[in-house]
Amino acid sequence: MKQLFFTLCLLFSVVANAQQKSYKLAITQVAQNYYVFTTYKDYQGSPFPANGLYVVTDAGVVMIDSPWDTDKTQQLLDSIEIKHHKKVVLAIATHAHADRTGAFDILKTQGIKTYSSALTKQLCIEQNEKQAEFVFTKDTTFRVGDLTINTFFPGEGHTKDNIVVWFDKDRILYGGCFVKGMSATDLGNIKEANIKAWPVSVQNTMRQYPMPSLIIPGHQEWAPGYQCLVHTLKLLSKQ
């Protein structure tokens, strides 16, 4: 009887813990047709957010990066179809980490074209991460409906393959993990970072895309103008 009681207590504890760690998908509209989706992963007992972006066009939805896991990805795809009555047609990864490509397999099974740089795909293979189906070898322009999407490699920073994505029509820059969110107090995961090159790469981005209306980082808060890039430079200056 005592053994049964212990087993039941253990089971309830596991279920409660799993429920506690099951964080919700958040979707925030940041401009007309632009939506940040945020998923969470447990980090030292607390939820840590990762941002991605989707943009609605008359020819379908474009997704930049993906949620961490397939469960949240299916929730996101369902939410997009219910809200906008459109399907995702294109997804682009900004570098080779699980919070960028983690759900690319499920996207591919649903007929969504997935892209990354050739270097990102190579690193995904080496690191046993999910990979895009298609690659580009240089800065590339995509067009979906009336939307123009520019990928840009600014130089090494968070990783040696990090790219940013620019939407010229609305002057919105998606920085991924190359750009730090406004509440970040450090550079986060710098295991693969090039700290020396990173500030120069940030300056390259500012020259390439002057006067952005909004910059969206890979984690935490986004902000108008250059604020996130300036904040990134401040954090780099402390290294």
- List pLDDT tens digits, range 89-134: 999 999 999 999 999 999 999 999 999 999 999 999 999 999 999 9
Is 198 inside any structural domain? yes
Is 176 inside any structural domain? yes
Is 15 inside any structural domain? no
Positions marked active-site: 95, 97, 99, 158, 189
135: domain CATH number is: 3.60.15.10
Is 20 inside any structural domain? no
Model confidence at 41, pLDDT cuts 50, 70, 90, reads confident
Is 82 inside any structural domain? yes
pLDDT at 17 over 80: no
Can you read off the two tokens belonging to residue 113?
A: 């074209």
Please count the structural domains in the chain: 1
Is 185 inside any structural domain? yes
Task: Find the mean pLDDT for residues 27-50.
Answer: 91
Q: Which residues span the domain enclosing 78?
A: 25-237
Is 11 inside any structural domain? no
Model confidence at 207, pLDDT cuts 50, 70, 90, reads very high
Q: What pTM, to 2 d.p., does this model score?
A: 0.90
Is 10 inside any structural domain? no
